[in-house]
Structure 1
């Protein structure tokens, strides 16, 4: 088992699932209307997409030869409404830096107060980099965006904050009423229904009661000149403040066992945040191509839990002590004991590749070295950490901890 390949490619051209089932779904730009609850609004999507032929077509029909993506050279005023916590916060930071580097005018509105303790953590503690690059940073209430931005107007508004309609609706309504041409929403790949067929692709069934789904449906009906939704999964990158690879580093540097639930061969997707921001930036610069699309905002490779443990250990220059356990037998909740879903969970960025011409640059072995360097630089390897759940698991396995 340990000799199995740790990284898996998921090319769209070879995905049997895509060939087999794609006739059930619309082309990438129309994928949101494949949800049964969205059928009433599907007619508004057809007119906004330039792919010739019938509305229902296979992904093989939506090739680079069927249309051209023209990136706009126009410099735009972009507002990023950014969350003040969690993994998504770093997406807004990276996107702002990328857009500023391309000459766009960027304002980042972070929900909350500038002097709060949350702002002392990355990526917020690095917002001076945005100001130095010519960006504007403000803080305020997402329910009153106009007041927070001092009455300014924008060509593009991105909501990287809300997880439900109550939170996003005021932002979307304000954007529409203030004349924004494009509205982008950072959704989540977590809304896909569990399936025996992977990877998840745009158009797969989603959980009807998920808050992100209601938001995607709502913004699709606001008649923006261009709109799109992006569904990320797990991410890494400088400035991220949500534990992912750090969970592995915490154990590896202390020579503790790394407890993996199940077989450890579960597949997941971890993307560098630069990949996510580059996809969003392409949508800003190619609004006609992005219009009406749902994008899986992920890299194009999967990794096993075993593989991730090995790669984290490789970045740290150590050998991992991997052990496997059954959460039920150990009497622990895997959601609390492990930072990933205890199941196969990964999606494929098919629409971004075919519609935007996007390419992934995530390189986990190298990207994890970057993260380990930061891990050491902030002194987390010396931080006192409690491993209560680990100890319970290890006790059930009769595995000794020798630090």
Structure 2
């Protein structure tokens, strides 16, 4: 009987690449989240240094085109760097100096309204007495609380802002070196692109977006501040210029910046002219905020930010918790950095854009490749550079 041939052993089935590809992104996202938690602990412990340094870094990126423009106009490289350096110092003075100015003016003005505050409080006490609600508790509160007690926290804030002389020197020195080195940044990015094209694309993407964000937000902040200032002058609210400056700074804080900016002028209006004047301030500020910051501004910042409103609000809480008050100011740029470097230019993590992007259809891999090619200068596209990303 002929011997039957033994069938050849079959190779074990290869794993379906589609399954691995489909399963890897969620696990990759978990690893990213775990890494962010670890990094967050370190950021929180060094917030007093990281927050101002990152703010300076984004401002240097924003001012970088000014140096290129001056060099193209045949200015000496050192002179173009000096002009850029002075522009960065001016921006820092406007942003941080505005906060100090508003707080100092508020501290000086609050004691003048102590009697007005007592009068309003007594009116509320009389109203509660007629209604029969908590008369004894309100009397105890009225006797223990004075408006002048609000000046202590405000003075502590002024001391914190003015007491960091060593940190201020560090920032000034950091700006100096970073501004002088910014002229060779394009060559450095090209060196990174040769071995890590996705990282280079992420850095270029972040620079483009954060530059547009600062420019557009600053422009609309000035518009809102001027409109608020004029409205407060018409209503007759004291310290109108101070509240206009405060509105300009709080415009950088997403979602709740308007609320922070309207409380002090509404309070002063209440103490100076009663509920009618305070209500007028709230109505005017709300109307300006809805028209300019809610309807018009997002049409210009949408492409720059690229994150939805929920993520913007969560990022505000997240960065304010990690980096303090300055973290609220740089919440959007910090989120843009993580999005550009870790999400937009990483294939395993690109699925996260479906959750955080303001327009997910614009964040598909094909659209991102097309946008990256458009961000590469024409001379580099002709020479074949930038096609690796």
Task: With the length of structure 1 as denominator, give the TM-score of the two structures.
Answer: 0.23
Judging by fraction of residues, say which structure has more helix. Answer: 2
TM-score, with length taken from structure 2: 0.24
Structure index of larger Rg? 2
